[in-house]
Each structure stands twice: as C-alpha cells, then as structure tokens.
Copies of this chain bind each other. A is one copy, B any other.
C-alpha cells in the first residue's frame, strides 16, 4: 500500500520493475486515487479560488477561462465565486473556499474587498489582487499598465486629427476605472490637448452607462469628435446610442473601448479598443499564488485598431474643398 502511494507520487526510491507492475495493476483495476483522502493527509487541497464581482461583464468569463486553463496546467483545480457586489454572497464565497481549504485566492474584483482579507489572511492563505492591494505578506498584486494602451489610443486619435476627445468613465469607486481615467488625462496632457470637464462622463461600465454617456455628450454645443470608453461594454452602449442618434461610426464620430473582450471584434463595425488580456491576468494570478516569492509579472495594455476610428468628420470634405480651390486657383 505504501509502495503504491510511492509509485503514484513518483518517489524515486521505488524499484522500476515493481513500479511498472503497480502501474499495470492500477490500469487493470481501474484504480483512481481519492483526492479527498490525499488532501486530508497531505494538507494540500490542490484547489485555487477565484473571486469575481460582476457576472454580467463579459470580461470575466475570459478571465475565468484563463485561470481554469492555467490552473489545470499546473495540476490545480479552480473554485469560482462571484460576489455580484453583494457582501453576503462574498461571505458565502469565502466560507466555501475556506472549507475546501483552497491554497490561494485570486481576487479579481478590481477593488479591495476588505472583509475578504481578514478571514483569508488570518488563515495564511495567499492572495492576489489586481491593481492595488493592502501591503501584507502573502498578498501580491498584479499591476496593469493602463497608461501604455491609453496613451497609444489618445495618440492614435490625435494623429488622425482629433482634438475634441471625450471619455466615458466607469464608476468612481472602482479603482480600475479611476486609473483608466487618470491615464487618459495624463495622455491628453502629454499630447498637449485640453479636455473640458463636460467631456468626462461617469458611467458604470455597463451598456446603459455608455448610452447615457453618449446622450450627455451629444447635448453639448461643441460635441467631441472622438469618444474613449473605460471598458468595452460602455463602448458598445455608446455605439448603440450613437446609431440611434443617426450618427455613423466612425464617419461622424470615432470610438475606442477598453478590455478587448471577444464581442468587440464581432461588433459592426469591429470595435477599436485597448487590449487587456484576461488570460494574461489569469495566468499571472495563478503563478503569483503558487509562487509568492517572485512578484507577479505586470500586465500590459495595447491599442488594437479596428474600424471605429477614422479622421474627424469634415476632414475629408475640407480636404476636398481645399484641393478644389487649389484646382480652381490654377
């Protein structure tokens, strides 16, 4: 019995011949080791938890998929918990994870969830957060370089000739949202543009938020020629509102999203957006949980140009007019 255990765990001290016989018997008998028993005695559950907030955001399925894949790759299983911004649901999640003795928890809610910390930290369970996390040992942070992608996007618009660029943000309480807005402000400053306060609308990272944002921006006496959104769902909402207003994208107005969720590519026209790979984040999270010695790799963001951006409305007409004048001038 002990030998079988050694064979299964590939302890080198087993006679290869015996080991082979054991493997054959395992095959023949259809023996399957019992994970619960192994976990019980070894104290290692081989389980990793992921906690997400908002199910309805299509960013998360991709995140979870990536996490799951990476976890299986390194011999772990995944326990998923979604809080839906509900404290009670979160408590339940934590309880479940504690009971299953997860060996680490990735908190992918883009915000600090205080109640999580105490319960989990007190058990010494490694945790990984996105963006920002309380400084404690056993807790690591995956930093996202929002600036890079957003700078690329603003520059892209500027090069096309846009000077009036608006931003539809996410909720102010969400760190990832304020970080994106800040990155936008930095980029715009850097390039030497001025963005009036009326060009910044606070949405909520949902389609509806994007719709409201556009509705607001269109009431302005000098509406923007381009809109950047804090996430793709917002951008999709913007597309709908724009189309409802009879405006054509990108001819009348350019639009850039953030996240690069799968839908974005499928939109009509395909959405230009800033990619933040959920898979990368997930992989980084798994690594961080299992090896808390090395700090997790940062996640980069980058512009993906598709078809919702072009020169500002009128530019082409202006050009044509000018060339017309030039011809007449001859």
Residues of chain A at the chain B interface (Cβ within 8 Å): 30, 32-37, 39-40, 45, 55, 58, 61, 64-65, 68, 72, 77-80, 82, 92, 95-96, 98-101, 119, 122-123, 207, 236, 239-240, 243, 262-263, 266-268
Given contacts A36-B36, A39-B36, contact A77 B96 (CB under 8 A): yes
Residues of B within 8 A of A240 (CB): 266, 268
Cβ-defined contact, B266 with A101, below 8 A = no
On whether A236 and B266 interact (CB within 8 A), knowing A40-B37, A80-B78, A122-B30, the answer reads yes
The smallest beta-carbon distance between A240 and chain B, in angstroms, is 7
Contact of A268 among B34, B40, B80, B243 (CB under 8 A): B243
Q: Which of B40, B58, B72, B119 contacts A34 (CB 8 A)?
A: B40
Copies of this chain present: 2
The smallest C-beta distance from A18 to any residue of chain B, in angstroms, reads: 23
Query: How far does the alpha carbon of A32 sit from the alpha carbon of B96 in the complex, in Å?
Result: 9
Distance to closest chain B CB from A314 (angstroms): 23
Q: Is the CB of B95 within 8 A of A32?
A: yes
Task: Report yes or no: B34 in contact with A99, Cβ–Cβ below 8 A.
Answer: yes
Docked pose: A65 CA to B80 CA in angstroms:
10
Give 14 new A-B contacts, CB below 8 A, not counting A36-B40, A58-B263.
A34-B99, A34-B101, A35-B100, A35-B101, A36-B100, A37-B40, A58-B61, A65-B82, A77-B79, A77-B96, A77-B100, A236-B266, A240-B266, A268-B268
Please report the C-alpha to C-alpha distance between residue A101 and residue B100 in the assembled complex, in whole angstroms: 14
Asked if B33 contacts A99 (CB within 8 A), the reply is: yes
Complex Cα distance, B30 from A55, in Å, reads 30
Residues of B contacting A236 with CB < 8 Å?
A: 266
Q: Are A80 and B58 in contact (CB under 8 A)?
A: no
Q: Which residues of B contact A34 (CB under 8 A)?
A: 40, 99, 101
State the Cβ distance, A79 to closest chain B Cβ, in Å: 7
Distance to closest chain B CB from A282 (angstroms): 13
Which one of B30, B33, B99 contacts A32 once the chains associate, using CB atoms below 8 Å?
B99
A55 partner residues in chain B, CB cutoff 8 A: 65
Contact B267 A268 (CB under 8 A): yes
Whether the Cβ atoms of B40 and A68 lie closer than 8 Å is no
Report chain B residues within 8 Å CB of A263: 58, 263, 266
- In the complex, 9 of the A-B residue pairs with CB atoms within 8 angstroms, ordered by the A residue number, are A32-B123, A34-B40, A36-B39, A55-B65, A61-B65, A68-B82, A77-B100, A78-B80, A80-B80
Across the interface, name the chain B residue whose C-beta is closest to A56: B262
* Across-interface contacts of A39 in B (CB, < 8 A): 36
- Which residue of chain B has its CB nearest to the CB of A58? B262
CA distance A243 to B269 in the complex (A): 9
Task: Tell whether, in the assembled complex, residue A36 and residue B268 are in contact, meaning their CB atoms are under 8 Å apart.
Answer: no
CB–CB B268/A35 < 8 A: no
Q: Counting chain B CB atoms within 10 Å of each CB, which of A35, A68, A101 scores highest? A: A35
